[in-house]
């Protein structure tokens, strides 16, 4: 389903009662698949599948008054006009801004943890090099000890 901009409440209707999109073409009726409005029908541009031709017209199909109030209360508005659509868009933008800030903070924590792990890895790598050097020294000292013991046995 493509994104659509909302229409104002002054939607054009032709002589047969069909809702017209911004192209002045009869709209198609689609069904919402969103969590907020599952199964709710809406009018859309007949060219909705063509990104270049799609005028992004959108208007909910009118239901009975009780259903309409129920859906409107779920999205926090009484009619979908331009001002309310703008308010909803601003609310969504503010929520996304907060989500972006939270994600940035979480990313910062992960990056700090990554830096700590890298530093720990470098420290462990350094310790491994020191241990290898000490093992080489021990092997060399053992060889010297064996040579001295053999030399001592030969002399005696």
pLDDT recorded at residue 68: 46
pLDDT tens per residue across span 19-60: 899 989 999 999 988 888 888 999 999 998 898 999 999 899
pLDDT recorded at residue 155: 74
The DSSP-derived string for 8-77 is: -S---B-TTS-BB-TTS-BPEEEE--SSSSTT-EEEE-TTTT-TTT----EEEPP--HHHHHHHHHHHT-
pTM summary value: 0.36
Left (φ > 0), alpha (ψ -120 to 50) or beta: where does 17 sit? left
Torsion of CA 95, 78, 62, 43, to 10 degrees: -40
pLDDT tens per residue across span 62-106: 865 555 454 444 444 444 567 777 888 888 899 899 999 999 999
pLDDT recorded at residue 77: 44
120 — pLDDT class (breaks 50, 70, 90): very high
pLDDT recorded at residue 80: 52
CB 82 within 8 Å of CB 8? yes
For residues 105-130, give the mean pLDDT: 95
| Phi/psi at 49 (5° precision) | -85, -10
11 — pLDDT class (breaks 50, 70, 90): low
């Amino acid at each position: 389903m493509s994104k659509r901009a909302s229409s104002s409440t002054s939607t054009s209707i032709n002589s047969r009662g069909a809702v017209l999109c911004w192209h002045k073409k009869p709209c198609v009726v689609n069904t919402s698949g969103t969590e907020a409005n599952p199964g709710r029908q809406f009018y859309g541009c007949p060219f909705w599948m063509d990104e270049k031709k799609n005028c992004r017209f959108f208007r909910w199909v009118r239901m009975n008054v009780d259903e309409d109030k129920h859906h409107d209360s779920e999205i926090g508005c009484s009619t979908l006009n331009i001002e309310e659509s703008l308010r909803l868009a601003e609310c969504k933008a503010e929520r996304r801004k907060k989500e972006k800030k939270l994600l940035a903070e979480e990313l910062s924590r992960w990056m700090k943890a990554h830096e700590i792990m890298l530093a720990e890895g470098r420290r462990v790598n350094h310790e491994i090099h020191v241990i290898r050097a000490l093992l080489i020294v021990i092997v060399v000292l053992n060889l010297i000890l064996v040579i001295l013991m053999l030399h001592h046995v030969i002399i005696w």
